[in-house]
Each structure stands twice: as structure tokens, then as C-alpha cells.
Structure 1
Amino acid sequence: MKALWLGTWFLRPYYERECEMIHCETPECAAEHANAATLAFCMNGALAAGLEFRLMVQECQKRKVPVCWMTCEDPNGYLGFVREAQIADFVFTCCRTMIPHYRRDCGHNRVYWLPLAASEALHQPMPLALDAADLVLLGNHYAHWPAKVRLMETILKPLLATGRTLALHTYPTNEWPPEIAALNRGATSCYDVARFYPEGRIACGASCQAGAGIDDFAGTTMTSQRTFEALACTKPYLTVPSDAYEPLGFRNGEHMAWVKSAPEALDAYDLLAGPEGAAMAERGRAFVMQHHTYRHRLQRILDAVDGKAKPEELE
């Protein structure tokens, strides 16, 4: 299958491993290649190209090539990006509970839940480092996001207070408390994370969106790509609750461990650090490879375009 990718390309490296992909940044490129394409992808941020993006979409639509827009920033980024979704033929959101908003503002039902995923090519297990820390965390901290605060208060601070060690990779301008920021080993590219997970025995993290899974934002069914990539790299994974986990098929204590309190975090750490943690990591990787790779996400998009995927039924 041949596809076009229009404009902003953050997610492109994951999908281009699943099909033949041509990256277009001009209307002329889209016009040249659209007739040979099955569909065209674009993602949140594409309108940064302004008129160029709109013209690329028009070139595809003139040639009956479905334009599929996806976002990895819901629910937080909805208001900033919904104008892009309105231009596309099909809309794919990483947060299931945003579907009614897109249906209302786009005026159609061609809106689907498309969670983030793991890449079979990029997210592979690697041997544990000889000097591995107890925990490894790849990601940023936002002090005003409840999910991040819960991760800090429920998992990181209690475990570090007991002498556990942390390998942290984050951007230097982030909002970590000084004592945790001091552990930063440097930022990573999202495309080579597999080589950093061996720096810790147990991976930990939280959804990257402000309210995902937190009680006062109940129902925001979005979870970060970190969830999928850590499990795909066969890491025992310790996290806080997300309303996305169970709808995605994950089970607490079977594929990962999510905890609601510091005492639970301490108990879960002891479990994950032993043989059951290794077995859980193997189950987590197997489940992700079976259900949650970008190959699966591409098939979801194709099914939607072909009319095989029915619009989401929401309660």
C-alpha cells in the first residue's frame, strides 16, 4: 500500500515502517503522487504550514484520496487542533471520550478512537545494563497536570525516599523538583528509546495528558505512547491509574501494575523486582505485540476508510 504523509511528521516514522510512504510538504508533491496513493495521513500541528497544508488536502480530495487526520494531543490539545480535523475526511483521536466533540464540530460520524501504540521495529527488548538503576523513567513533568502529580507523589517520592535509584531522561527545561531534576541523564529522541530502558530494572510513568485517568477528569481515555513502548521493551511497568487501560485490554497485575497510594507502590515495586515482575513484563510485551502496534493501528485506519469499522458506540 502507498500512502502520502502531509506536513507535520512526528508520527510518520512509526507508520512508514508499515507501508510505502511519501512525505509531502507542498501541494505540487501531493498532486504528483496522489493518484497512486490509497490514502493520505496528516496529524495535529499540520496547519502550522497554513495555506500549504490546505492546498495539499485539496489536491488529495480532488483525486478522491481520503485524508485521514490523527492527533496524539487529546484531550489537552483539542481546541488548538480541531480546525485541522474539520478539513479531513476521517478523524482519529487518541482519546475515546473526545469523539462526541469531533462529531459535533466536524459535522460527521467518521471519527474513531486510535490510541498510540508500539513499533515492532523500534521498540525491542535489550539486555539490562550492568549498572542499572532500580527505576527508569523517560518523560517530562508538568506540575499542573494531575496525572504527573500523582506519579510524583504516589510512586517517585515514596520509592526514592526508601533509597531506590532512578535513571531519568527528560528535557532540561522541565518542571521536575530540583532533587529529581538532578538525576537527569539527558533528553532522548522518541525514536531510539529502546536503548535507554535498560538503564533501569523497572519502568515507571504516567499518561502524558493532564487529566487522563484522574478522578476529577474521569473518562479521558488516553494513555501515553510510553505505556506501549515500555511494555514492548519487556519492562516491568509501574504506573498510576488511567481510564484507558482496561478499555485497551490491560489488566492490573497481569500486564503491568498501577497503584493508587504510596504503600501500594512500595508493595508493587517489591513484586515487580522479583520473578513475577519478569513474567508480567513478558505478558505485557506479548499483549502489546498482539494488539497494540502501529501495524494494528494502520489496519484500523484502513478498516475505517473501507467502511469495515463502524463508528464508535458511546454510552
Structure 2
Amino acid sequence: MKINSEDFRRAVWHFRTGGVSQLLEWYRRRTYDSRTTAHSSGKRSDIEKKLGLQIPAVEYGSTYVSNSTLKVAVVLDDFSARAWAPEWDCVFITPTNWQDHLETEKFDMLFVESAWAGNDKTWQYHLTGDSAPRPALVDMVNAFRSKSIPTVFWNKEDPPHFNDFLDCAKLFDFVLTSDERKIPDYRRELGHDRVASLSFGAQPAFHNPVRPLTQERRDVAFAGMYFAHKFPERREQMEIVLGGASDISSKLPHGVDIFSRQHGGDEKYQFPAPYDQFVVGSLDYDRMLSAYKYYNVFLNVNSVVDSPSMCARRIFEITAAGSAVVSAPSAAISHFFDSSEVLEVSTREDAANAIRSIVQSPELRDRMVHLGQRRIWNEHTYAHRAREIEAFVGLPLVEPSANSMTKRPKISAVVSTIRPHQIDHIISTVASQVNVDTELILVTHGFSIDHEDFQAKATEAKLGDYKILELSSDLSLGDCLNAAVAKANGDFITKMDDDDLYGENYLFDQVSALRYSGASVVGKQAHFMYLADSDATLLRFAEREHRFTNLVMGPTMLGHASVFKNTPFASRSRGEDTQFLRDVIDGGGTIYSSDRFNFMQMRSGDGKAHTWGLSDAELTATGKIQWFGRNDKHLFF
């Protein structure tokens, strides 16, 4: 990282004031702060000035990749090219170079979508139009088939463009459609049954809630086009969601913003009154993905309303980015999402009420979005879609990497305890985790346990994989943790405390955050804490969600096993967590703070049971009391 003259003066000051340790701490903070302020300088666009937002282009440099060994020749439009690139070793062939690639490279599949201007416009008019399919496409598909390489065509434009791409589809071995209702039509026209449906999804490499900037959310937005000349059902849906939004716009802090994809273009694509007053301009796709992160609500309408599989790609992308979706009805939405994850509204009044509810209740928004994201990470990423295609075509099963959203996580939970009475809680906590495989590495620090009794309890809780290390009380906590890490066999390692509360989805959510962020370690800086003496629940560091940082709570740290094995804990019983995080950063790693849910740090009695000592008053000063009592249902879901 470059250091300018001002930063150099600051570095000298920190060195003179606190020596090497303070200089290093300043540099660490500067490094992670640059991730959330790097876009703050420079000239703002007219839209950014109007909205009071900075909207940087999304970065495509995430370390999220599936590490697939499959080499796939592809013809894709820009959006799809970005979405599929992390899932395969994609080769973007053209009408003039496909022969060279086919002669010199070994391909597992040819994958072509209903592209209007595929691969940087090199395939424009080759797939559809009066002269389509053109000879270059026909020859290419036949050449791949002659080498027994599976050829796959995906019409992502069904049903309205079924006929436009039908002749193209006839060339391929396998055909995929965005509308499963068209499968019988394809089978009839193609004369074979190698037809299936394939829907859109989210690409965690850049469809994710990582917030590059710290700035206030605006209220509600819509991004897209207005069709004055076609899609009457879509116009009717516009009247529902945009009508409802416009009705209550003046009652919201910021009101409604419309990003018009054809702003200033053909008249038939311009928004009519009264919606034109809300148009703020147009954003390209790369900036739109960032804008998704800075609104409470994004609205959705559907050009196809009755297909169970044709779901607009923006529903997956917006939810993954962190905004709540309010949509006019669609058969596909209820097929992919629960009503607690995406809100469907049927009337203008319902739309207005839904928007106001979400804008006024951040807890409702965040819960909706979190549930929707969990659904996406578990079922609807492009990694899942890639595995669907591979299975449909009959390609050999390739074991996904630990980083892929399709790989069931194997997690070693490292727990060191000095309290025999917490053993039952430890067992139940680790055993309760869902959608992951767990291994408990339990360190009994200074005491022994009845192994038969432990086995009986583990069996009852269905905890089948565990190791017990009985270590001397003379060892430091850091030494105990290192001993546990050395015994861990999981792809991931997490440090958990013996008395804190973890929801059943805690580990799955944390691994998902590690995957989409590309961080070395994830944890929770924003978190809830229960103060037993006060019977109060505190939310600490609320602003530190979904961003890179230099500190997360020790009982929430999770990372790839290699990170823990290569970065040992310091031999100490206090501050070993903080030092571990410093060592990760000093080694070039990154720390990501995920969401605040599904974890509660317990502060019982006078706090003497913990290795760190802070009074309730000191802790309360670091956050805000949310309620008195526990209210577990609000946290654990």
C-alpha cells in the first residue's frame, strides 16, 4: 500500500509516541480502514451528488472461486459471463478463434446461452435474427459434437423468446430453459427429451452484503425499464409497486429513487408521470450492484408472472447484496423463496404498507434479508446451478473445494473450558448445528471427565465426531487452543466459548460469510451480550456489520483450518484472541465482521468466570441496551 506524505508524518508521530507497537497498530487500522474509505475521494457523479451516496463500481477481485477443474468453452452475455466465470475454467471463444482453441485445448463442455451480443459482441446476430444460426455457430457446435464434447444451450429468455432461439437450440445435445413450462414444447420441436429447466441465481463473488463504504441507507428504489408498448402484465405490476411507493414517498426520509436503464433514450422506454419525478438517472450494472447495498427496499416487477421457474435475476442479486425485496406477485418467487424472505404484494395499498414497514423497522429488514441470503447460499448460487448442469449432462462428479457454496462444510469446533458444569451445554451447542458436519475438539483445562458419561451424552445429542484433550492447568489458554487446533481435521476451524449461546444456523452462516467475503477469518464485531446482573441485553458495535475490520469477538472466530494451523495463538491466557487477529493481519490476511444474529455473549454474575474482566457499566458504555430480559427468538433463527 502506498503511503503519501501526510500518512508518513502520521506514521512518524505514532512511532515517536508509542514505539513500534503503536506504529504497527496504526498501520493495521489504516489497512482495513482503506477498504471502507478507498472510494471516498475523487469526483462524484451527478447521481451520487443528488442522492448523497457514493456508488463505486463493484469489485470483481473476490477470492471466492469454486476451484473447478472443468474447462468449458462459453458464449455468454456480459452479466452471465461474470456470473459463471468463478465456477468453471471458462474460455470465451469467438467465431474466428474457436477452431484454434478446440485443436489445442481439452474441453469438458460447450455452454452457449441465448446471447444477443455474446463474448464482447463477437457473436452478435449469430444466434438470433434473419440469418441465424449463422455458419460459424453451426460449424462450431458440430465440431464440438464430433469430438464427443457435450454441447449445451441455455435459453434464459423463455418464454417470450422461445421462437427467436429455437433454431439455435436444435443444434445442441442438451437444452436448458428458464421456463419449465416450455419443456414439452422443446421436446416436441427437438425430437428428444434432453431438456431441463435452469433458473438464475446469485454469484457470491460479487453478489454479497460486504459493504465497501460506511454510509446511511436510502429508502426505496427501483431499477429497470418502463415498457409502454409491450408486457401489459408488467405495466400492471408497475402500478402496484411503484404506485404504492409513490403514494408514501413524501412520508419517507428520502423517498423513492428510480434508476432508469434507458434514461434519455427511446421515448417508449421512459417512465411516465407521476413516476418520472422520481427518476434520478441511470447506473451501469457494476455500480448497480453497489447501489443494492445502500437501500432499505428494492422493488421488483415481473415480465413473466405465471412461470414457476422464470424468476428475475435481480431478486437473487438484491437479496444477496443486503436489501429487502418487495415484489408484485410471481409464481416463481414463492417457488424459490419463503414469504419471510421476499415480500409479494398484490395491491397498491399493500405495497405502500410493506415499504413503510421495512423502512421504519430495520430489524424486520435485516431479518428478511438474512433469511433470504441463507436460502441463496444454501440453494441458489451459480455454484448450485453449475452442479445442476454437470449432473444433467452426465459429466463426472467433481468434488467441490471447501470454498464452494455447494460443499457441505466440515467444521472443527475448538472449545477450551475450566468449568465441568458447562460440558452439557458444549455438547448440545455443537450437536445442534444444521447444514454442516461438526467435529468437537474439547479441552478440559485442569480437570478430567468421565469419558463413558461424555460418550453417552454425545450419543444422545447425536454428536458423533469429537476428541477430548485433558490438559494441565499450568498451560495457558493459548497453549490449550493450539493443542486443540493441532488435533482438528475439519476444512474450517472455529473457536467457541463454553457458556455463550449459538443458534443452530450459526456455523453455516459463518462459513457462508467466509466464502463470499474471501476473508482469512470471519467473526462478529457487532454482537449481542446478555448482562445477567442487570437482566439486560446489549447490542455492541452495531455499525460494524458486513465489513472488513481488525477485530471480532474471540468466541466467534472462524477460518480455514490452514489459517489457524499456520497462525498459532500466543502463549497467554488473556488477549490471545486479539493477538491472533493481529498476527493474521500482519501476515497479509483479512478479518471480516459478518451479521449480528445467532450469537449471544453471556456475562454472568460478577464476570469472574471469564478470563477478561469488565464491569457491566464498562460494557454498557460500548453499546446500547436493546431490551431487558433475553428475547432469544429475536436473535436465534
Structure ID, larger Rg: 2
State which of 12, 19, 44 in structure 1 corresponds to 2:81: 12
Contact 1:75/1:220 (CA < 8 Å) preserved in 2?
Answer: no
- CA apart distance, 1:192: 4.5
State which of 73, 88, 107 in structure 2 corresponds to 1:37: 107
Is the aligned partner of 1:159 residue 2:236?
no
- CA apart distance, 1:289: 1.5
For 1:304, the equivalent position in structure 2 comes to 392
For 1:228, the equivalent position in structure 2 comes to 316
- CA apart distance, 1:138: 1.8
For 1:114, the equivalent position in structure 2 comes to 198
Contact 1:115/1:222 (CA < 8 Å) preserved in 2?
Answer: yes
For 2:222, the equivalent position in structure 1 comes to 137
- CA apart distance, 1:251: 1.4
CA distance in 2, matches of 1:121, 1:7: 18
Report the residue type matching 2:322 in the other structure: T
| 1:11 partner SS | helix
- CA apart distance, 1:180: 2.4
- Go from structure 1 to structure 2 and tell me whether the alpha carbon gap of 1:70 and 1:192 turns closer, same or farther (over 3 Å shift): farther
For 2:579, the equivalent position in structure 1 comes to none
- Go from structure 1 to structure 2 and tell me whether the alpha carbon gap of 1:129 and 1:240 turns closer, same or farther (over 3 Å shift): farther
State which of 262, 280, 283 in structure 1 corresponds to 2:368: 280
Alignment of 1:211-250 (within 5 A): 212-213=304-305, 218-219=306-307, 221-248=309-336, 250=337
CA distance in 2, matches of 1:79, 1:125: 38
Contact 1:150/1:240 (CA < 8 Å) preserved in 2?
Answer: no
1:131-164 deviation line (CA, Å, top 9, x unaligned): 6432122211223324422332112122212224
CA distance in 1, matches of 2:76, 2:379: 28
Query: Higher mean Cα deviation, 164-173 or 65-74?
Result: 164-173
For 1:48, the equivalent position in structure 2 comes to 125
- CA apart distance, 1:193: 2.8
So what's the TM-score if we normalise by structure 1? 0.87
Report the residue type matching 1:238 in the other structure: V
- CA apart distance, 1:124: 1.6
CA distance in 1, matches of 2:290, 2:231: 28
Is the aligned partner of 1:270 residue 2:347?
no
CA distance in 2, matches of 1:279, 1:130: 20
For 1:255, the equivalent position in structure 2 comes to 341
CA distance in 1, matches of 2:292, 2:224: 12
CA distance in 2, matches of 1:58, 1:206: 39
- CA apart distance, 1:175: 3.4
For 1:311, the equivalent position in structure 2 comes to none
For 1:3, the equivalent position in structure 2 comes to 72
| 1:22 partner SS | strand
CA distance in 1, matches of 2:294, 2:273: 21
1:50-73 deviation line (CA, Å, top 9, x unaligned): 211111111111111111111221
So what's the TM-score if we normalise by structure 2? 0.44
1:147-188 deviation line (CA, Å, top 9, x unaligned): 422332112122212224222222213231144234333333
CA distance in 2, matches of 1:16, 1:277: 31
- Go from structure 1 to structure 2 and tell me whether the alpha carbon gap of 1:62 and 1:297 turns closer, same or farther (over 3 Å shift): same
- Go from structure 1 to structure 2 and tell me whether the alpha carbon gap of 1:147 and 1:191 turns closer, same or farther (over 3 Å shift): farther
Is the aligned partner of 1:75 residue 2:159?
yes
State which of 11, 21, 24 in structure 1 corresponds to 2:90: 21
1:268-299 deviation line (CA, Å, top 9, x unaligned): 22332211121001111111121111111111
- CA apart distance, 1:307: 7.7
- Go from structure 1 to structure 2 and tell me whether the alpha carbon gap of 1:263 and 1:9 turns closer, same or farther (over 3 Å shift): closer
Identity of aligned residues (%): 21
For 2:494, the equivalent position in structure 1 comes to none
CA distance in 2, matches of 1:130, 1:43: 38
- CA apart distance, 1:26: 2.5
State which of 275, 278, 281 in structure 2 corresponds to 1:180: 275
Q: How many residues align?
A: 300
CA distance in 1, matches of 2:285, 2:154: 18
CA distance in 2, matches of 1:287, 1:194: 19
Contact 2:245/2:256 (CA < 8 Å) preserved in 1?
Answer: no
| 1:69 partner SS | strand
1:213-252 deviation line (CA, Å, top 9, x unaligned): 2xxxx4464111011101111211100111112332x111
- Go from structure 1 to structure 2 and tell me whether the alpha carbon gap of 1:129 and 1:137 turns closer, same or farther (over 3 Å shift): farther
CA distance in 2, matches of 1:7, 1:160: 37
| 1:36 partner SS | coil
Contact 1:230/1:237 (CA < 8 Å) preserved in 2?
Answer: yes
Is the aligned partner of 1:169 residue 2:262?
no
Report the residue type matching 2:86 in the other structure: R
Contact 1:40/1:67 (CA < 8 Å) preserved in 2?
Answer: yes
Contact 1:44/1:72 (CA < 8 Å) preserved in 2?
Answer: yes
For 2:300, the equivalent position in structure 1 comes to 205
| 1:287 partner SS | helix
The gaps in structure 1 that reach 5 residues or longer are 309-315
Report the residue type matching 2:178 in the other structure: C
1:100-133 deviation line (CA, Å, top 9, x unaligned): 1111111111111100111111212254874643
| 2:139 partner SS | helix
Report the residue type matching 2:125 in the other structure: A
